[in-house]
Amino acid sequence: MTRRLLVLLAAGGSAALLAGAFAFQYLGDLYPCTLCLWQRWPHAAAVLIGALALAFGGRVLPVLGGLAAATSAGIALFHTGVERAWWEGLASCNAGSIAGLTMDELLNPNVTVAAPIRCDAVAWEMLGLSMASWNGLASIALAALWLLAARR
């Protein structure tokens, strides 16, 4: 495979994972937790890096794309550990959404506060793996594609 094709596959994979995450959120009403949102940013960076790599070529950009995919994999695997109670999540993972409200707003019965989306609760799973776990596996594969592209 050529470097260009590998970059297209890797960046396209990140774009597909982002599209899937947004579909689950907006079509499936599965709202993301803090760690879910964090996993999206490196994929967005990988898509941008992919566009730059296709425009300019070279080995540096595929290495950066690989780092972006590996970053998403690391966050996803950390998230998997939180979901499986292997370790504690971040404080922001299970914080309520009342932060920033004034005392008047908290006491006002007309102010609605959405329930927080917990990082330790699995919202969706397939074959015993959560969405975070699948993202971790896919991100590892994408990182490998990026690194193959860098070697070409």
The CATH number of whichever domain residue 52 belongs to comes to 1.20.1550
Question: Does some domain include residue 104?
Answer: no
Question: Does some domain include residue 115?
Answer: no
Question: Does some domain include residue 48?
Answer: yes
Helix (H) or strand (E) holding 69: helix 60-83
Question: Does some domain include residue 111?
Answer: no
Please state, in angstroms and rounded to a whole number, the distance separating the CA atoms of residues 148 and 138.
15
Note whether 107 and 23 are within 8 A (CB).
no
28-70 residue pLDDT tens:
888 888 888 889 999 999 999 999 999 998 889 999 999 999 9
Using pLDDT thresholds of 50, 70 and 90, give the confidence band for residue 76.
Answer: very high
Question: Does some domain include residue 67?
Answer: yes
Question: Does some domain include residue 77?
Answer: yes
Please state, in angstroms and rounded to a whole number, the distance separating the CA atoms of residues 115 and 142.
34
pLDDT score of 96 more than 60? no
- Best CA proximity match to 136, nearest among 86, 42, 70, 84: 70
Amino acid present at 118: R
* Number of domain units in the chain: 1
Question: Does some domain include residue 124?
Answer: yes
| Structure tokens belonging to residue 6 | 């590998």
Using pLDDT thresholds of 50, 70 and 90, give the confidence band for residue 128.
Answer: confident
Domain range for 147 is: 3-89+120-151
pLDDT score of 11 more than 80? yes
Instruction: Tell me the percentage of the chain whose pLDDT exceeds 90.
Output: 49
Of residues 126 and 60, more confidently modeled: 60
86 Cβ partners below 8 Å, 6+ apart? Answer: none
User: How high is the pLDDT of residue 105?
Assistant: 63
Question: Does some domain include residue 96?
Answer: no
Report the predicted TM-score, pTM, of the whole model to 2 decimal places.
Answer: 0.81
